[in-house]
A and B are shown apart, each in its own frame.
Chain A
């Protein structure tokens, strides 16, 4: 069963997603970091990345495709990386511009957070964005993330220098926002 929300589902990557992932990666609007440029990624690169993913019962990251529940359309991708088991991870998302403002991003973010806190038992979740991306900051705040650090002038993008923004969400903060969920993980002290 895929991870389901109200508007979207998160499912594993499939080979048919590769053209759409390539297009998303080559759209400057959905690129948060200039270091990933230029926008010349090819479908073959994505196919290789997809095929090179090895089987593991101990994965350190997770990658999902965001699918519209209503139309079944590909809407974007959401992932977590750098997992410290039972402790922390960092999340990231790219949503096709045509779905901006649809509520899909928040729904996808909430599905992933629930999975990370409820299934993986993490204590804190982080994300990185920058001061030139207020939409990403606002989206994270809607799920309870706070800006915990602002590294000055650490990001260059679109001809401007921005602050790198670190945001995080603690386990207790998440559960206090979702009273329907019970956190039965014992406190550490």
Chain B
């Protein structure tokens, strides 16, 4: 099964997720790395109706997948993941957001491996890209551990805490994924 490990599963958002989604998105430490669609604020707290609009928007996109990350033990929503191929299915993008209390426990790695495996084993993707702010050191080491390489930056992506920051672009090639062991690379296989 592509979207599940022993600890987590990726599944669509439902209206019942509203409160949990709002709660973790509005955690102040998640500001600037919520990975929301254009038009939604990157760091300003979101209202319940904005979060409702977000779920609707995520569900409307036809060349993007937006999935909730559920911890299977407690059936709790612990984050969201997306992959999108709106520009080119050969070069999709992915991103993962883990709620603050669940970070640094290996959930993000499991989610990333599921998505990378899905894209390389089931779509024409030959490179997968990701993006993070240059101040997001945790995100940068996370992507590096997964085998992504830095492909450069978009300079002056934004302004935060009194300083400009860049966007860091990373990518992983199908050949690199295969060299890492292909299917067996995903946890628990």
Contact = CB atoms under 8 A, between A and B. Distances in A.
Given A35-B87, A35-B88, A166-B169, A152 B163 contact: no
Interface residues on A, range: 20 to 34
Given A152-B171, A152-B173, A166 B90 contact: no
B40 interface: no
Which applies to chain B's interface (DSSP): helix, strand, loop or mixed? strand
A189 B162 contact: yes
Of A148, A154, A155, most buried by chain B (CB within 10 Å of CB) is: A154
Nearest to A154: B91
Nearest to B129: A151
A123 interface: yes
A183 to B, nearest CB: 15
B154 interface: yes
B27 interface: no
Contact of A148 (B90, B153, B164): B153
Contacts of A123: 156, 164
Interface residues on B, range: 20 to 34
B126 interface: yes
A149 B162 contact: no
Nearest to A82: B38
A123 to B, nearest CB: 6
B3 to A, nearest CB: 25
A154 B156 contact: no
A89 interface: no
A168 interface: yes
Given A166-B169, A188-B164, A153 B127 contact: yes
9 contacts: A35-B87, A87-B158, A124-B155, A148-B154, A153-B91, A153-B127, A154-B88, A154-B171, A189-B163
Interface of A: 35, 87-88, 123-124, 126, 147-156, 161, 164, 166, 168, 170, 188-189
Interface of B: 87-88, 90-91, 126-127, 129, 149, 151-156, 158-159, 162-164, 169, 171, 173
